[in-house]
Amino acid sequence: MSRYRRESSEDSSYDSEEERRKKDIKERDEFASRLKEKDEKKTKRVAVAAESASGKAEAAKRLKLVEEDTKEKIIPKLRIESRRKYLEKRKEDKVAELEADIIDDEYLFGDVELTEKEKRDLEHKKELLRIAKEHEKARELENIQRYRMPLEKGVEEDQYQEREQPQSEQAKWETEQMSSAVYKFGAKDRKAQKEYELLLEDEIDFIQSLQMPGDKKDEVVQKKAEEKKLTTIEETQKSLPIYPFKKDLIDAIRTHQILIIKGETGSGKTTQIPQYLYQNGFCDNDKLIGCTQPRRVAAMSVAARVAHEMGVKLGNEVGYAIRFEDCTSHRTRIKYMTDGTLHREFLSEPDLASYSVMIIDEAHERTLHTDILFGLVKDIARFRPDLKLLISSATLDATKFSEFFDNAPIFQVPGRRYPVDIFYTKAPEADYVDAVVVSVLQIHATQPDGDILVFLTGQEEIETCFEMLNERVRRLGSKLRELLILPVYANLPSDMKVVLATNIAETSLTIDNIIYVIDPGFAKQNNFNSRTGMESLMVVPISKASANQRAGRAGRVAPGKCFRLYTAWAYQHELEENTVPEIQRINLGNAVLTLKALGINDLVHFDFLDPPPHQTLVLALEQLYALGALNHRGELTKLGRRMAEFPVDPMMAKMLLASEKYKCSEEVSTIAAMLSVNGSIFYRPKDKIIHADAARKNFNVPGGDHLVLLNVYNQWQASDYNIHWCYENFIQHKSMKRARDVKDQLVGLMQRVEMDIVSGITETVNIRKSITAGYFYHIARLSKGGHYKTAKHNQTVQIHPSSALFEELPRWVLYHELVFTTKEFMRQVTEIESKWLLEVAPHYYKPKELEDSTNKKVPKVVGRAQKDSTS
């Protein structure tokens, strides 16, 4: 009680506040320089080559599971129906949410002058809504359209040709290529046609609209077999499309500080360029060549590949660095890393002094980290003329990158791609999961051999589709050739198969031998509402860029075909050119804190390739201020500098640091680790739901979900991290191992920021107070009818049914996250006492806000608090 009183009375004098600020900044800088010293002393360990067998074993296991499933499962029709209904319901809810969002925006900001960006956002939302509604309408007409006989050739021509094209390069190319020849399956092969009529009850009409040209001419296609014979590393290297450009490339890099490299996947740029640079003396004076990748697997496998080509052990001259794994040594000259890792490295080496070249690879993917790196490296390049920058991108974005980097020259490298024929449906397909099933069978029955890759939006859909396909295949029986259906991914000999995947297959997963791609045109996308602070996962139409990326997957090994389950008109007019970059869609709390720690104070004017919404930046800054990471001038505080060391959201970082004061850092680090594995702790197989739920209830402890998570971890630890313990208790071992990794890292970082790791308290109040110190933004109180209202925004929310507190309904709760699915749910909920809020965040909560008329105890407490603060 007296603690916050003291703090608030100190605010009264400006001088003392100014003094406090100066003292804090001084301490902050001293802390930062201590960190730097530590980093300099740190000797890098010599790496051990990572084992790669585990991946193969995993794939083999998965395959086996699939086969067993296929043989034995008989799927009741009812279940399929219920799933589809669920999907339908969810879609309705999402549409309603979007609608409400638009009304909200217009109501709240109707009178306010909107910026261009905000206007565009609103327009975009409206457009989404319109598409979603039309999609609904089309569904009602489904039967009529699905079974319609194909029209005569001339009839639909004008439908596809008359439209005015958008001005993009892509669109122009499309227009040129556009032809409306009607393509029908089986037309070329009478025998197949006959068989197909016999087998399939329904069909989809596709229209071939254009061809995505490959980089290879037909004659080159013939050479494929010869290429495969290449045995020596040198021969393989020389066969890569980038090889003839070696000298030109090196010359260009010597002449220009920044170079944009445009090249398709498969050109060899990722593996070869660092080697060319190494051979040409760019590593003199012990400097490093760095190359960032958006994904961990890519960083690891590319590094392994290059080490092999150079004949060195991985971790010596060639190494990689990803979270939890630093496979580099003092000998390392070529270093592959994830973009997030480089982002972190900036904290200890803001000028990248140890690098002579930095390659930002796969820049077109526009991950949050790459986007921030753009601004940072551009800035560094100005005062480090010796640093070479290569920005490597696979798409037409190259011009945009060039403009951003002061018109840096673009160096083009050809790719290795075969042509892909693109087909569109003639009519809109309402139920695309069903359309996928029909298309797969059509292709399988009538097209030449080749694997089929299907893009779906998520696990639920993949399961539905998997079951439908299996059922249909079984019904058709032996009339159909064997069809192997693999959900997600596999690594198999080239039999005929269908791969059902999410957009993981767009980039990060290489599946050999794909000839056919089926693209329904949707993906799930995470969106962050900066006004309510709520995230939602919605099924949205993909962008043209993404559609072309998907089509490209068909042309990796031979000429391919891509079947789009939408019309050519929809492609032209309904799809955005590019996916909205991540930086404009997500919560930027952590990113803003890191930038502040790098000394970038004016974030609003930071050089972003595409700036995030102003509102999102403001929210992030406000939150950091409330957490004490920034002072009233917006400068980073010592607390903020310490928070920035943790690779977690600012609220969680604050929670971790607060645990020092409450003497429970051990417990809180565990809770943080468990929270960051993202809801995948409890395993809930569909056929054992009752057992799984019972097992879960056994972990319940008073207080709430955070403490349940702690309990789970502690019991697992007590079992000596036993895998069987996990099976028995319906806990996912994989997630637990990850939680252990995260915990170890967090504990290491806690020591790094000079915290003591302490534990041993028997009651939970201190643990819950630490959590509250970080998450005082996320508070809700019980109101009438079992609903909760959030403390600051008065938003109606509910406890998620999976929570341990679902039936308890405490008066005050803290939640880890707010998600919109069927309702606004709080996930990971813990009971707190409102007076704690005054203790941990006196600047944010005033006693009056915490008054509670429904409870007799609370007014007494509040009354005391008020007396204290006014006396």
Partner DNA sequence: GAGCACTGC
Contacts to DNA by CB under 7 A: 86, 294-298, 322-323, 338-341, 343-344, 367, 369, 457-460, 488, 502-504, 508, 523-526, 537, 590, 647-648, 676, 678-680, 684, 686, 693, 800-802, 806, 819, 821-823, 825
Q: Which is nearer to DNA, 69 or 460 (CB)?
A: 460
| Angle of helix 589-597 versus helix 650-661 axis, rounded to 10 | 70
CB of 539 to DNA, least distance (A): 9
Q: Are 862 and 850 in contact (CB under 8 A)?
A: yes
Query: Taking Cα atoms as reference points, which of 357, 361, 346, 393 lies closest to residue 293?
Result: 361
Measured distance CA(420)–CA(551) in Å, rounded: 7
Measured distance CA(827)–CA(528) in Å, rounded: 16
CB of 775 to DNA, least distance (A): 17
Residues whose CB is less than 8 angstroms from the CB of residue 658 and which lie 6 or more positions away in sequence, other chains included: 668, 769, 770, 773, 774, 840
Measured distance CA(494)–CA(228) in Å, rounded: 15
Q: Which is nearer to DNA, 97 or 195 (CB)?
A: 97
Secondary structure (H, E, C), 288-316: EEEEEECCHHHHHHHHHHHHHHHCCCECC
CB of 347 to DNA, least distance (A): 10
Q: Which is nearer to DNA, 340 or 450 (CB)?
A: 340
CB of 850 to DNA, least distance (A): 28
Task: Record the tokens describing residue 691, joined without a space.
Answer: 């057992």
Q: Dump the DSSP string for 52-110.
A: -HHHHHHHHHHHHHHHHHHHH----HHHHHHHHHHHHHHHHHHHHHHHHHHHHHHHHHS
Question: How would you classify the pairing of strands 388-393 and 206-212?
Answer: unpaired
Task: Record the tokens describing residue 470, joined without a space.
Answer: 């299996």
CB of 569 to DNA, least distance (A): 26
Q: Which is nearer to DNA, 528 or 566 (CB)?
A: 528
Q: Which is nearer to DNA, 457 or 584 (CB)?
A: 457
Task: Record the tokens describing residue 652, joined without a space.
Answer: 């969680």
Q: Which is nearer to DNA, 239 or 802 (CB)?
A: 802
CB of 36 to DNA, least distance (A): 17
CB of 509 to DNA, least distance (A): 7
Q: Which is nearer to DNA, 322 or 838 (CB)?
A: 322
Q: Which is nearer to DNA, 75 or 819 (CB)?
A: 819
526 CB-side CA count, 13 A: 13
CB of 821 to DNA, least distance (A): 3
Q: Are 788 and 814 in contact (CB under 8 A)?
A: no
Query: Taking Cα atoms as reference points, which of 302, 350, 286, 293 lies closest to residue 323?
Result: 293
CB of 808 to DNA, least distance (A): 13
Q: Which is nearer to DNA, 560 or 581 (CB)?
A: 581
Question: How would you classify the pairing of strands 522-529 and 534-541?
Answer: antiparallel
Q: Are 811 and 862 in contact (CB under 8 A)?
A: no
CB of 503 to DNA, least distance (A): 6
Q: Which is nearer to DNA, 242 or 376 (CB)?
A: 376
φ, ψ of residue 817 in degrees (nearest 5)? -150, 155
Cα distance from N-terminal residue to C-terminal residue, the chain: 13
Structure letter (DSSP) for residue 613: P
Q: Token match 């001259």: residue? A: 317
464 CB-side CA count, 13 A: 23
Q: Which is nearer to DNA, 413 or 620 (CB)?
A: 620
Q: Which is nearer to DNA, 283 or 511 (CB)?
A: 511
CB of 295 to DNA, least distance (A): 3
